[in-house]
Amino acid sequence: MDLLDSILNAMDAPPANNEQQKTLIKKQREMLERMQNKQKEELLRFRKYVDERMGRFAKDDRRCIEFQPLDKVHRSVIHEVAENGGFIAMSFGREDVDRHSVVYKKEHAPGEDEVTARRNGDGWNEEIAKEYAERRRERLAQEQSDKEASTSEAASSASSTSAAADQDSGEVKPTTNYKAKYAHLIGESAALQAARKTETNQSYGFVPSKNKKDVRSIEQTLADIQAKKRLRLAQQQELEQEQQPQEATTSTEDP
């Protein structure tokens, strides 16, 4: 214990917080709270601004409204207010550069061309709409052309395959007549008689199905099986009785 006490006494005590440090920490905490409160108040004011703007938007004949580039927090407020008001909100652009939100009325939802144009950073107006519509028509025409070309190639391939299969499965005809070739050996009428139709001999080889069917009932079948077992057991007993006298005679004859 003396050694431990000496080590503890030799160690430096933790530095004590003086009044100046406590005051500095308190000021930093108060500044952080003021910043957080200020941010909350700013978000509340922004939410109110979005509410008022979307209220005016719901009453006029515009199909969409655009907001200036904002950070993710402010864009989330726009999306939340739009969803609560029954609108469609979408964001376009690059993050931390020009990403902004666009709010649409549900009856004027953006089409594929507009979404593509805004994602490409081209914006949207009548001229851009015509340009993208022309691009879409050209793309669809090219896709239709490619589809027809692939269909025709598949049909051509299938027809060629079918023709080759017909050739392979066609009837093979001999080039010579064997009857004429071997007429001097088998004669003219031998081949005809050898090729006559063979018929089954009805006198044997067939058993009518009615003779194969067991017409006995289940009770009769079980009774027959039991009778066979009893007969087999009686035969075994008779055989054992016949063997016992023989064994007795053999044992008396032995000295």
Give the per-residue pLDDT at 1.
52
Q: Give me the residue label for tokens 């907001």.
A: 67
For residue 155, pLDDT beyond 70: yes
For residue 171, pLDDT beyond 70: no
Give the per-residue pLDDT at 34.
92
Distance, in Å, from the CA atom of 24 to the CA atom of 28, rounded to the nearest integer, reads 6
Name the token pair of 85: 């008001």
For residue 194, pLDDT beyond 70: no
Task: Give the residue-averaged pLDDT of 180-192.
Answer: 64
Most confident range, picked from 2-6, 65-69, 141-145, 251-255: 65-69
CB 191 within 8 A of CB 179: yes
Distance, in Å, from the CA atom of 92 to the CA atom of 124, rounded to the nearest integer, reads 12
What's CA 201's distance to the chain center, in Å? 61
Q: Which CATH architecture has domain 24-109?
A: 2-Layer Sandwich (3.30)
Grouping H, G, I as helix, E, B as strand and the rest as coil, residue 104 is strand
Listed in sequence order, the residues at least 6 apart from 46 whose beta carbon sits closer than 8 Å to its beta carbon are 74, 77
Domain boundaries, the chain: 24-109, 120-152
User: What is the H or E stretch that residue 75 is in?
Assistant: helix 72-85
Give the per-residue pLDDT at 98.
92
Of 64, 63, 67, 62, which Cα lies nearest the Cα of 77? Answer: 67
Query: Other C-beta atoms within 10 Å of 85: how many?
Result: 16
Give the per-residue pLDDT at 130.
92
E strands, 136-236, in order: none
Distance, in Å, from the CA atom of 71 to the CA atom of 96, rounded to the nearest integer, reads 7
For residue 224, pLDDT beyond 60: yes
How would you label 65-81 residue by residue, b for 16+ Cβ within 10 Å and e otherwise?
bebebbeeebbebbbeb
